Amino acid sequence: MGRKYLARKSLHALATLAFVLAFNFFLFRVMPGDPIRLLARGSATHMTPQRIAQIEHEQGLDRPLPQQFVVYAENTLTGRFGISFVTNESVTSVIARAIWPTVLLVGSATLIATFFGLWAGIKGAWGRGGLFDTTSLFGSLVLYSAPEGWLGMILLIIFVGAFHWFPAGQMSSNTGQTGIANVLDILSHLFLPCMTLVLGYIGEYTIIMRSSLLEVMGEDFVMTARAKGVPDRLVRRSHAVPNALLPTLTLVFYSFGFILGGSVIVEAVYSWPGLGLLTYRAIQDLDYNVIQAVFLLFSLAVIAFNLAADITYGYLDPRVREA
């Protein structure tokens, strides 16, 4: 893999990160009013003048704008995001607690949605216009049109409200069980929110895979393979699908930001104790330190994923890194 390609992509990711940092800084300071009042607006506890002065100093708000930026950059890069005005805990520790539930939820949902989405897309494209293709395309469009939060509520009404098949939210029943029982307990709590995200994104993946494969199916090398007499199944498996898979997987990587965003409202519906629920509560309480930190974290995650996608793509497809 070309070192130049790697360097260019990494530099690009760093520049994007710098832009996000600067954007976050200015967004907060160009707003009318005093940042500290804005910060404290949602505060549940009363702020003493000493406390306000202390926060002002911590965040550098008592200094001129350029110096404020230096303090802001320093604080951000070293992971000091101040305190949550609602719980009075440090934002870093609040976030650290919430990361793993979200990784579990978003990770499992992405894997399942990708797997079944690609499968349905391949099957649909290969039998274009058939019963499976028509049904899956229509189903994909309907799922794509449904807001994730609403989908979650529907599943909750059906499977918890009407059938009582699953627990009604949170991540565990908190009965102190260990080992296998605990894992099963978490899985039963995970099932519905995970399914919600899967349903919310599987349609998109199916459509992307389908159109990508359709495009490849019109290429000359596929016709060549058919003309050579390669069996249909083999044409699909070794000639068409690998070439269609690459752009699709890149798009799946790129869409990571959306599934992360979708998790906010789904976690709120299921009280899943991850970053999404944290964000949801922070919005309700106007807890700006938390909102800012989550914004930076989400952006960082998406930038990292895009970089990973670029590198993988460059590694697998020599045409890209030469360009």
Residue ranges in contact with another protein by CB under 8 A: 12, 15-16, 19-20, 23-24, 27-28, 31, 38, 141-142, 144-150, 153-154, 156-157, 161-162, 168, 211, 215, 218, 257-258, 260-262, 264-265, 268-269, 279-280, 283-284, 286, 288, 291-292, 294-295, 298-299, 302-303, 306
Which CB, 25 or 182, lies closer to another protein?
25
DSSP-assigned beta bridge partners for residue 90: 83
Which CB, 33 or 182, lies closer to another protein?
33
CA 34 to each of CA 39, 58, 64, 82, 306: distance values in angstroms, whole numbers, following the listed order = 9, 16, 14, 17, 36
- In the bound complex, what is the minimum distance in angstroms from residue 189's beta carbon to another protein? 16
* Contact criterion met (CB below 8 Å) for 9 and 307: yes
Which CB, 310 or 321, lies closer to another protein?
310
Given its phi and psi angles, is residue 105 left (phi above 0), alpha (psi -120 to 50 degrees) or beta? alpha
User: 3-state SS of the chain: helix, strand, coil percent to 5?
Assistant: 80, 0, 20
Which CB, 246 or 283, lies closer to another protein?
283
Token pair belonging to 193 = 């929110």
- In the bound complex, what is the minimum distance in angstroms from residue 180's beta carbon to another protein? 30
Which CB, 182 or 254, lies closer to another protein?
254
Which residue is it, tokens 């930026």?
Answer: 69
- In the bound complex, what is the minimum distance in angstroms from residue 184's beta carbon to another protein? 24
* Contact criterion met (CB below 8 Å) for 274 and 263: yes
Which CB, 90 or 211, lies closer to another protein?
211
Which residue in 311, 322, 317 sits closest to 242, CA to CA? 317
Residue 43 is given by DSSP the state -
CB burial of 35-69 (b: ≥16 within 10 Å; e: otherwise) equals bbeebbebbeeebeeeebeebbeebbbeeeeeebb
Which CB, 182 or 320, lies closer to another protein?
320
- In the bound complex, what is the minimum distance in angstroms from residue 302's beta carbon to another protein? 5
- In the bound complex, what is the minimum distance in angstroms from residue 158's beta carbon to another protein? 9
Which CB, 182 or 257, lies closer to another protein?
257
- In the bound complex, what is the minimum distance in angstroms from residue 50's beta carbon to another protein? 26
CA 116 to each of CA 17, 130, 145, 205, 240: distance values in angstroms, whole numbers, following the listed order = 33, 19, 18, 9, 18
In sequence order, what are the residues at sequence separation of 6 or more whose Cβ sits closer than 8 angstroms to the Cβ of residue 38? Answer: 28, 31, 288
- In the bound complex, what is the minimum distance in angstroms from residue 115's beta carbon to another protein? 23
DSSP-assigned beta bridge partners for residue 83: 90
- In the bound complex, what is the minimum distance in angstroms from residue 208's beta carbon to another protein? 13
